[in-house]
Structure 1
Amino acid sequence: MKRLALLAGAGLISLGLAACGGKDAGEPMSEAKVAQQTADPAGAVEAVAARLKENDLLAAVQLMVPAAKLDELRGDWKQAMAKETPSEEERAEFAANMAKLTAPGAEQALYAELEPALVKFETEMAAQMPMMIGMGQGFAMQGIQASEDMTPAQKQQGIDMINALGGWLQTAKLTDRDLAKKGIGIVVATARQIDLKTLDELRALDFDQAMGKAGVAFGGIKDLFALYGLDMNQSFASLKAKEISREGAAAKVGFSYSFLGKELSGETEMIEQDGRWYGKDTVEQLVKGMAGVEDEVADDEIVLEDEEDAVQEDAN
């Protein structure tokens, strides 16, 4: 279940601001609208980018997976929340962190904690940053080149993004005090808008509601990055897709977008199901995730049976 929850949340990449069309956060798009926006492969790619720009993660999920798989995600989310009971320590830690982020004067208190860390970074690590960034770029590129799951086009896109991120990190004002204060303000405002005080409140949310909360967090993360010069909304807004080829229920789509001042491009494979187009990789990964969950459930059942057998043997 944990892998599925991670796939559903983090993979979609993986915690509402009201999104497009005036609908409330956590409220799904109508099936008619989803069908309209996924009627052709290039339009489906652009539609996902538009929903991500609006922080509407639930709508993005609707556009990225078939309706039947979305229903499975909803059901498995509910089962996971019912099964994976957090410890009292986890409950206390979550409540303490949320109370700290949302308390009156949280901005000032958090900056007082951050200031010594900024000083330490400036005096002990700042000079080493160029070397560390370069090493990180090298390791990341090696990982991409060694990947057996990525196509040559995907590898090139990944390398281009790493180079752009490396250049951004070299110039980002990570120790700027005014930016730090503004960043803390974004974090605090986001936590207050999420409005969850306890883990039990989070676990009581259904999948759609959780995606609404996720949209709030996603918006806060984007605002934080934009503060330091990485404008993800500009990238989403600039994305343009064009159909390259189509054969039956399979199509190849090329896309381009602006990222940190650089024009990047890539390709993705799309598949058609019931008149709607989805990313082939997304559907395949979802199927693998479902298979992994089934394996976990089977393992759990085996463990349970073994424990019951052991108890019976002891009783005898």
Structure 2
Amino acid sequence: MKTRIHVLWIMLVAVIGLSGCGGDDNSAAGEIAQMDTDTPDGAFMASIAAMKSNDLKSLIKNSLSDEQYNELVTEFENNKTGNFSEADKAQFASAISMLTSDGAEENLYQMVEPQLEQARAMLPMMLMMGKDQVLQGLKTNPMLPESQRDSAVAVVGAAMDWAGENDILSEDKTKAAIAALVNTAKELDMNSLDDVQNMSFDQALEKGSIAFGGVKSILGAYGISMDDMLSSVEISDLEVNGDQANMNVSFELFGETVTQPMNMVKKDGVWVGDQ
């Protein structure tokens, strides 16, 4: 359904296709209320503000008309009942128990430690041998728009260099990432798939905000700050022609300045990405 695709665009393209613990209790609604979302750049920056606050509800409300929002809620309610088997439910309960039980952090580290030792030995060679191949694949990938290839090559190359220089598989970083994962699982407070099925749309967004904040914390354990990246977003070369607009969006990632074109369109009074 188009609405579903549109929401995926909101959540992914709002941070230009990139990729604190837990959800931020400080909603972005107040900050967004002071922004001029009637302009394409204002609407885009309002989405960035929502992402910085881990506020998925404000992100979606800001990016959909009332009609589209109500359609999305209806679709959610009609499709949230899954045909989960008893095996699915048992597997989910086991995973949640492993993440939230006493001593979870220590137990999880003991599980991954043997693999870490092997990975530490292999990572430098893998990065050295794989970098040229990966970058060449990006340069020739027909699925990647030509206008985005240079940016993708710069970011991926910088990310691989960064990974080789920052000991990302160290004991300290791994334990910090595990701690962020465990804390997020506890904050989500979901014990079974029945809990998932019984959520309202607003509750699902609240859980999604917590999960998004948890992803930030896990990345933060490795020294990657999504909030710094989001704070670096700038808009330039805005051109508006009626209900269509184009602009350049720049941001900083792994020490590289990435600039990509962004097309916007006004639908039902709301500026959204033209996808």
- Superposed pair shares fold, TM > 0.5: yes
Q: Does 1:55 align with 2:75?
A: no
Closer, same or farther: CA 9–92 of 1 in aligned 2, 3 Å: farther
Instruction: Report the Cα offset of residue 7 of structure 1.
Output: 6.9
Q: Alignment partner for residue 109 of structure 2, among 92, 108, 111?
A: 111
Instruction: Report the Cα offset of residue 142 of structure 1.
Output: 2.8
- Structure 2 distance, partners of 1:79, 1:93, is 25
Task: Find the structure with the greater CA-based Rg.
Answer: 1
Residue 11 of structure 2: SS of its match in structure 1?
Answer: coil
Write out aligned runs for 1:224-235 (5 A): 224-235=218-229
Closer, same or farther: CA 279–10 of 1 in aligned 2, 3 Å: closer
Aligned length: 266
Residue 258 of structure 1: SS of its match in structure 2?
Answer: strand
- Structure 2 distance, partners of 1:68, 1:86, is 31
**Residues 6-59 of structure 1: CA deviation (Å, up to 9, x unaligned):** 8746972499432335xxxxxxx59xx669542111111111111111111221
Instruction: Report the Cα offset of residue 76 of structure 1.
Output: 1.2
Instruction: Report the Cα offset of residue 114 of structure 1.
Output: 1.1
**Residues 163-182 of structure 1: CA deviation (Å, up to 9, x unaligned):** 33233233242220111111
Q: Does 1:147 align with 2:146?
A: no
Instruction: Report the Cα offset of residue 246 of structure 1.
Output: 1.2
Structure number having the greater helix percentage: 1
Closer, same or farther: CA 133–209 of 1 in aligned 2, 3 Å: farther
Residue identity matched to 2:52: K
Q: Alignment partner for residue 17 of structure 1, among 24, 27, 37?
A: 24
Q: Using structure 2 for the length normalisation, give the TM-score.
A: 0.85
Instruction: Report the Cα offset of residue 279 of structure 1.
Output: 1.3
Residue number in structure 2 paired with 1:268:
262
8 A Cα contact 2:139 2:150, kept in partner: no
Instruction: Report the Cα offset of residue 195 of structure 1.
Output: 0.8
Residue number in structure 2 paired with 1:162:
156
Residue number in structure 2 paired with 1:78:
77
- Structure 2 distance, partners of 1:7, 1:92, is 33
- Structure 2 distance, partners of 1:86, 1:177, is 37
- Structure 2 distance, partners of 1:267, 1:254, is 4
- Structure 1 distance, partners of 2:138, 2:197, is 35
8 A Cα contact 1:251 1:269, kept in partner: yes
**Residues 202-236 of structure 1: CA deviation (Å, up to 9, x unaligned):** 11112222121111111111122122222111010
Residue number in structure 2 paired with 1:280:
274
- Structure 2 distance, partners of 1:79, 1:171, is 48
Residue number in structure 1 paired with 2:16:
none
- Structure 2 distance, partners of 1:242, 1:123, is 44
- Structure 1 distance, partners of 2:243, 2:6, is 25
Residue 272 of structure 2: SS of its match in structure 1?
Answer: strand
User: Could you list the runs of 5+ residues in structure 2 that have no partner in the other structure?
Assistant: 14-21
Residue number in structure 2 paired with 1:255:
249
User: Could you list the runs of 5+ residues in structure 1 that have no partner in the other structure?
Assistant: 22-28, 282-316
- Structure 2 distance, partners of 1:4, 1:273, is 13
8 A Cα contact 2:10 2:63, kept in partner: no
Residue number in structure 2 paired with 1:130:
128
8 A Cα contact 2:64 2:270, kept in partner: no
Q: Using structure 1 for the length normalisation, give the TM-score.
A: 0.75
- Root mean square deviation of aligned Cα: 2.8
8 A Cα contact 1:42 1:241, kept in partner: yes
